[in-house]
Structure 1
Amino acid sequence: MALMMGDEFRVEAGGESHVDFSHPLSISTRQPLRQCRAARGANGSSAGFTFIELLIVVAMISMLTAIAIPAYRDYLLRSKVSESLLFLGDAKSAINEFHSRWGRMPADNREAGLREPEAVRGNYVRSLSVHDGVMVALMDLGKDSDQQPIMRTLTFRPWLNKSVSGSPIIWSCAEQDPAAGAAYQAQGSIAANPVEAKWLPSICRG
């Protein structure tokens, strides 16, 4: 449907209308219809593209979260173990002094000049036991994803050169082998339920 509109449009007294088409200007309803359809199509494509982008972003966030959360958790646990190592430094010094004085390893906490195992406590250390110079620390590292307590042991073993009297003690942490040579031998063994290797600081690895 089209309306040809000129310069004049008037209604005369007799009630008859007169339209002057001497200068026609076409006003068509088809052009706006085409414009509406084009706009609707463009908006639909834009909305669909935006939804796909949103799905991609959500998937990427999920992937990053799955990687970042466990890594951050391991970092926190490793920092707790590292702090516990500093706390146990005094006990190690006490055993070194005992060995230098008596030429042997202390049999227990009392001989080493330490308090009873359960009385040696730190932020994460719940007990420290000494058996023939071997130190075993029981640590509370928090809770896992199932809200179960993470209780682990960390063993410090003295390595002695029995062929040389008065040789200094070399300490090893967990499964660490200080590579002190064939003359040095580790005392004791690793306690049960040890700290996972990924939670050990670099000083306890290798």
Structure 2
Amino acid sequence: MKSMMKSNMNNAKGFTLIELMIVVAIIGILAAIALPAYQDYTKKAKFAEVVTSVGAARSAVELCFQTEGALANCDAGYRGIPAAVVTTTYENLDTMGIANGVITAVGTAGVDSANYIATPTIADGETVLTWTATSTTTPSCIDKGWCSEF
């Protein structure tokens, strides 16, 4: 009896090779699925800086439009509209320019240099701007889900 217990204890010393291979395969499959999704989520979070900058500039353009009555002079640096961004002041926003109310923001290489363009339009007889969001990068930030149409 004693020898039987001793031999059972000697045999139960860890995992078999097949069990370890199965665990490694499962971890590999999970990593192949999770890593690209994680990278996309981090880029979306980084691109939020670009979206926020465009949102602030939209408010300034709307105020300029209300004051001026037109979009012709609503350029970067005029009537409280933020000056053009061309420095490395921001971590994820590379450049942002505003001309005639159209806001064009471009992200850094960390967000695949994706751009976000907000274009205001004036309906006939209206004093309120409506905005259209576009992106010329392929795939666009709208297609990726990083930014939204207004």
Query: Normalization by structure 2: what TM-score?
Result: 0.74
- Shift of residue 107, structure 1, vs aligned partner: 5.2
Higher strand content, 1 or 2: 1
Counterpart residue identity of residue 132, structure 2: S
Map 1:1-206 to 2 at 5 A.
43=11, 50-105=16-71, 106=73, 108-111=75-78, 113-119=81-87, 121-142=89-110, 150-161=112-123, 163-166=124-127, 168-174=128-134, 190-192=135-137, 194-195=140-141, 197-201=143-147, 204-205=148-149
CA contact (8 A) 1:87 1:122 kept: no
Count of residue pairs brought into register by the alignment = 141
Query: 1:170 and 1:119 mapped to 2: Cα distance?
Result: 29
Normalized per residue, the structure richer in helix is 2
The 1:51/1:86 distance shift into structure 2, 3 A limit, reads: same
Q: State TM-score, norm by structure 1.
A: 0.56
- 2:132 alignment partner, SS class: strand
**Cα shift at 1:71:** 0.8
User: What is the root-mean-square deviation in Å for CA atoms of aligned residues?
Assistant: 3.1
Displacement after TM superposition at 1:109 (Å) = 1.5
> If you compute each CA radius of gyration, which structure gives the higher value, 1 or 2?
1
Higher RCO by CA contacts (8 Å cutoff, separation 6 or greater): 2
- CA distances 1:131-158 after superposition (whole Å, capped 9, x unpaired): 3211110111527xxxxxx212111122
Q: Secondary structure of 1:126's match? A: strand
Helix, strand or coil for the counterpart of 1:197?
A: helix
Deviations 1:94-113 (A, max 9, x none): 10011111221145324464
User: For 1:133 and 1:154, how far apart are their aligned partners in 2?
Assistant: 14
Within 1, Cα distance between the matches of 2:103 and 2:91?
18
Gaps of 5+ in 1: 1-31, 144-149, 175-189
User: Could you tell me how far apart the structure 1 residues matched to 2:77 and 2:136 are?
Assistant: 20
